């Protein structure tokens, strides 16, 4: 499987790429394109990492990973949040999702902050399978 990866910080994401991401997300989330763009502009930070996976020059997968701060009992600690992971419907049964997830888990396991994944039940099986 040959996926081309582009890692782009949110502040460097072009309007064209943002629209491609939103169109991809529209396959799974029933929100309007304008609503998703507003969410992106309001809730992502400039240094959040957008992983775009292209197959034959078309966006086949997307992941958003954010670095956040947790304050609990006056103790501050950072963590990474795997905020979004989505694969184009045409490629879901081809192993793209597992490939993307294993790549991310491998890269983030070497960092000093934990990677937090909040997901739907059906995705948990893929995470268990990859780890």
In this predicted model, what pLDDT tens digit does every residue of 15-71 receive, in sequence order? 999 999 999 999 888 889 899 999 999 999 999 999 999 998 899 999 999 998 888
What domain range is 27 assigned to? 4-130
Residue 98's Cβ-side half-sphere holds a number of Cα atoms within 13 Å equal to 10
Is residue 95 scored above 60 in pLDDT? yes
State how far the alpha carbon of 111 is from the alpha carbons of 1, 26, 108, 114, 119, in Å: 26, 31, 5, 7, 21
- Only one residue has tokens 């983030």, namely 108
pLDDT for 42: 93
Count the domains in the chain. 1
Between 48 and 101, where is the model more confident?
Answer: 48
115, two tokens: 């990677």
CA distance 12 to 122: 32
pLDDT for 126: 42
pLDDT for 121: 55
Q: Is 8 exposed, middle or buried (0-12, 13-18, 19+ CB in 10 A)?
A: middle
Residues in Cβ contact with 89 at an 8 Å cutoff, skipping those fewer than 6 apart: 27
The CATH code of the domain that includes 87 is: 3.40.630.30
């Amino acid at each position: 499987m040959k996926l081309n990866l582009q890692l782009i910080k949110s502040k460097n994401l072009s309007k064209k790429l943002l629209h491609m991401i939103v169109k991809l997300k529209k396959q799974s989330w029933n929100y309007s394109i304008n609503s998703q763009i507003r969410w992106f502009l309001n809730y992502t930070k400039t240094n959040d990492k957008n992983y775009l996976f292209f197959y034959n020059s078309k966006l086949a997968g997307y992941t958003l990973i954010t670095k956040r701060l947790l304050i609990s009992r006056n103790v501050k600690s950072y963590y990474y949040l795997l905020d979004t992971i989505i694969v184009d419907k045409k490629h879901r049964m081809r192993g793209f999702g597992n490939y993307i997830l294993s790549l991310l888990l491998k890269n983030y396991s070497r960092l000093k902050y934990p990677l937090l994944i909040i997901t739907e039940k059906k995705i948990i099986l893929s995470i268990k399978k990859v780890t």
